[in-house]
Structure 1
Amino acid sequence: MTTAAWPLIFDGHNDVILELYRPQPGKERDFFHPSPHGHLDLPRARVGGFGGGFFAVYVPPPTSSPTVDRLPEPPYHLPLPPALDPTYALRTTLAMAARLFRIEAESQGALRVCRTAGDIADCLANNIIAAIFHIEGAEAIGPDLDELEVLYQAGLRSLGPVWSRPNIFGYGVPFAFPASPDIGPGLTEAGKALVKACNRLRIMIDLSHLNEAGFWDVARLSDAPLVATHSNAHAICPSSRNLTDRQLDAIRDSGGMVGLNFGVTFLRPDGKRDATMPLSVMVQQISYLVERLGIDHVGFGSDFDGALIPKEIGDVRGLPRLLQALTDAGFTSAEIRKLAYENWLRVLRLTWGE
C-alpha cells in the first residue's frame, strides 16, 4: 500500500531543532535536503506522510548533548543531570526558537508554525507541515513568568515544565529501568504558579518528563486535559519515563491523551537499547493504551531525532509501516485516523479553547 493510502500523521514530539542547532560531528544537515543522518527533514517527511507535530526546543547542557539512544543496558538508574544556568537557557531557547521560525520563513509555504488547532487542520488539508512551538523544560522562564508571556506571544503553545533534570519549577523523572516514576518531590510553589499561568494562557502542559509527584500536582491544579506527548505504558515497559495505570486512568478521565514514544528503551519489556525489535511491540503498547484509555485518547509521539527507534521504522519514512502493522492487527481505518491526527486535534481544541 502506498503512503497516499494512509492519513497524514500529526506527531507529539520531535527533536529535529536540536539536531539542526547542535549537530553531532560529521552529521550536519539542514531541514530542506534529505540526509542519511537522523530521522526527520522535509523531503523524508513528504515520503513518510508526516503532516506535522510538536517541534521541541530542548536546551542541551553547555558541554554535551546526551540523548536517550546512549542509555546503558538495564538495569540502570542514572542521576538527574544538574540544573542549567538560566541565562544560558534563555539565550539557547531563543536561538533554537529562531531556527524554527527561520525554517518557516525559508520553506516557501511548506511549513507553518501553528497557533490554533484550526491552523493545524488547514495545514493537514493542504499538505503543509504543521509545526507547534513546544518547549521541553522551562529553564528559560523566570519565577515572575515574564518570559512565558513573551514566548506565548511569539507562538509558544505547549510547554513541559521540566525535562529530566531539576529547575525552579520542579523535578524531572530520572532515567531508570526497572523503576517507578514515583521518584522525588513534585512541583515547587513556582511550578504551581506556572501551571496556573499556562491554564490562563491556554498553553498545553506536557507531562512526559515529570516524575509522578509532579504529575499528580498538575492533575490537582490544572483545568486542562492531561497530556503526555511522548510516553508509554509502564505495565509493559517498566521504565521510570513511562506511565502507570493510575496515571493513564487520570489522563483518560481528564479528556487528555498519550502520544506513543518510539524510543526502543521505552517500548521493549526488557528495556534494552536494541533497535532490532518487531513492530508487534509497538502494536502491543498502542493496544494496551487504547484498552486503558479508549481509542480517542491515544496518538503518536515519535521522539524522532531524540531517541533510538526501531529499525523497522528507521526514520520518518517508516511511518506507513507502523500504520500497516496496526491495520494488520485489526485497527479500522476510522481508528487509524484517530491515532494519526484526529485525537491530537481534539485535545488541542479543548486545551486551546477552540
Structure 2
Amino acid sequence: MARSSLMPVFDGHNDVLLRLIRGKTEPERDFLEGDNQGHLDLPRMKKGGFVGGFFAVYVPSDSGGLDIDALMTKPEYDVPLPAELDLAPSQKVTLHMASLLMRIERASKGTVKICRTAADLRHCIDTGTLATILHIEGAEGIDADLHMLDVLYESGLRSIGPVWSRPNIFGHGVPFRYPSTPDTGPGLTERGKDLVRACNRLKVMIDLSHLNEKGFWDVVKLSDAPLVATHSNAHAISPHSRNLTDKQLAAIRESRGMVGVNFATSFIRPDGQRNDDTPLEEMIRHMDHLIEHVGVDGVGFGSDFDGATIPNEIGDVAGLPRLVDAMRKHGYDDATLRKLCYENWVNVLERTWGK
C-alpha cells in the first residue's frame, strides 16, 4: 500500500473473510484487485486510509428462517440465540477462513502481512503494508483440550473472542436484544476459564465484545492482560444488550484496556434500530462517552465492516475520511485523532503481546 496524506486508520473488527468465502471463485484476487462488493477490498482501503485491522474468523449460524433484519427494525426485539455448533464442521470453516488470509498474504507479494507482534504492526504502518491480525470471533473451532489453539497460534492467531452471540463449550454470548442490559445469562464455563488462562500464557488477546456481563466479569477475575472489547459501544447511550455499561467501562479503564467503537447502527442509535440513515454525530456521542469513561488512550474504531449495517455517510471503507472530518469538526485535535484512529490499538496490543 502506498503511503498517503490520509489519517491512518487501524480497525478493531471486520468480517471480510466470511464475505469472501461465500460464492467467490477467486477470493484472493477479488480482495487484492477489488471487487467493489460489501465494505472492504484493498483498493478501497487505500482510498480510505485503512492501514490494518483484526480480520475475523467466524463460523456462521443458520438463521432458522428468521428475518433478523426485519426483527431489528421493531421498537423492541429479542433475537433468539442460535444453537450450539458442532466441533468438526466449525473446524473446517475456521481452517478455510484462516487459510484464506494466509493465501491473501502470499498472493499480495509483500503488500499484506499477518502480524504476530507489535513490532510487525508498527513496521507495516511505517512502510504502507496492510497489517492484518488473525482473530477468532466465537471459538467453536477450538476443541476442549485446546489442541487447535496451539495450531492456530503457530499460524498467527493473536486474538480470540471466546463466544459470538450463541452458547458454546466456553461460555454464553449476549443476544441481540433491545432494550436490555448485557446481564443475560451464565458466564464462562470451566473450559472457558481454561481458555482465558491459556490465552494469557500465550499472550493472545481476549475479546470481550460478544460476552454477556457475567462472562465479562469472569474474564476480569481471571485475566492479567488489558481488557479489550474490539467492537462495542456505550450502553448509557444505546441500551442494547451488546453495549457496555459504565461499570464495565471503568474496569476496562482500570486495566489500561481498549474499546473499539462499533459502526453498526443498531448499537449506535438510542432507539436500537438497524437503519443506515444514522448521522455520524450519533457515533461521535459514543466516542465522547467512551473517552470520558475509559480515557482518550483507550478508545478506537471497531467498524464491523462487512458484518453490519453502517451509516450511509460512511458507506464503505473508502468513506473513512468523512468520519475523520466529522470528528475533527466536532473538536478532536490532530493528536487525539491519531490516538483514536490507530495509535491506541498499536499501544494496547503492545501491552498485551509485548514488544
Report the residue type matching 1:282 in the other structure. Answer: M
1:314 has 2:320 as partner: no
Corresponding residue of 2:335: 334
User: Relative to 1, partners in 2 of residues 1:351 and 1:28: Cα closer, same or farther, differing over 3 Å?
Assistant: closer
Q: 8 Å contact 2:300–2:341 — kept in the other structure?
A: yes
CA distance in structure 1 between the partners assigned to 2:253 and 2:21 by the alignment? 36
CA distance in structure 1 between the partners assigned to 2:217 and 2:147 by the alignment? 25
CA distance in structure 1 between the partners assigned to 2:174 and 2:6 by the alignment? 35
Corresponding residue of 1:21: 21
Q: Which moved more, 1:3-12 or 1:320-329?
A: 3-12
- Pairwise CA distance, 1:36: 3.5
User: Relative to 1, partners in 2 of residues 1:65 and 1:343: Cα closer, same or farther, differing over 3 Å?
Assistant: farther
Q: 8 Å contact 2:6–2:48 — kept in the other structure?
A: no
1:112 has 2:113 as partner: yes
Report the residue type matching 1:297 in the other structure. Answer: G
Corresponding residue of 1:351: 352
Corresponding residue of 1:33: 33
CA distance in structure 2 between the partners assigned to 1:297 and 1:235 by the alignment? 18
Q: 8 Å contact 2:28–2:103 — kept in the other structure?
A: no
- Pairwise CA distance, 1:34: 2.8
SS in 1 for 2:54: strand
Q: TM-score, normalised by structure 1?
A: 0.95
Corresponding residue of 1:176: 177
Q: 8 Å contact 1:69–1:308 — kept in the other structure?
A: no
Corresponding residue of 1:279: 280
SS in 2 for 1:32: helix
Percent identical residues: 60
CA distance in structure 1 between the partners assigned to 2:86 and 2:183 by the alignment? 26
CA distance in structure 2 between the partners assigned to 1:46 and 1:130 by the alignment? 12
Report the residue type matching 2:180 in the other structure. Answer: A
Report the residue type matching 1:348 in the other structure. Answer: L
Question: After the TM superposition, which residues 49-60 of structure 1 pair with which residues of structure 2 at under 5 Å, given as runs?
Answer: 49-60=49-60
CA distance in structure 2 between the partners assigned to 1:332 and 1:65 by the alignment? 47
- Pairwise CA distance, 1:277: 1.4
- Pairwise CA distance, 1:273: 1.4
Corresponding residue of 2:102: 101
Report the residue type matching 1:290 in the other structure. Answer: I
Question: After the TM superposition, which residues 295-314 of structure 1 pair with which residues of structure 2 at under 5 Å, given as runs?
Answer: 295-314=296-315
Q: TM-score, normalised by structure 2?
A: 0.95
Task: Show CA shifts across 1:218-272 (max 9, x none).
Answer: 0000000000000000000111000000000000000001000000000011111
- Where does the alignment leave 5 or more consecutive residues of structure 2 unmatched? none
Question: After the TM superposition, which residues 37-186 of structure 1 pair with which residues of structure 2 at under 5 Å, given as runs?
Answer: 37-61=37-61, 71-73=71-73, 74-186=75-187
Task: Show CA shifts across 1:179-217 (max 9, x none).
Answer: 110000000000001000000000000000000000000
Report the residue type matching 1:316 in the other structure. Answer: V
Task: Show CA shifts across 1:264-317 (max 9, x none).
Answer: 000011111111111111111111111111100000000000000000000000
SS in 2 for 1:31: helix
Q: 8 Å contact 1:69–1:306 — kept in the other structure?
A: no
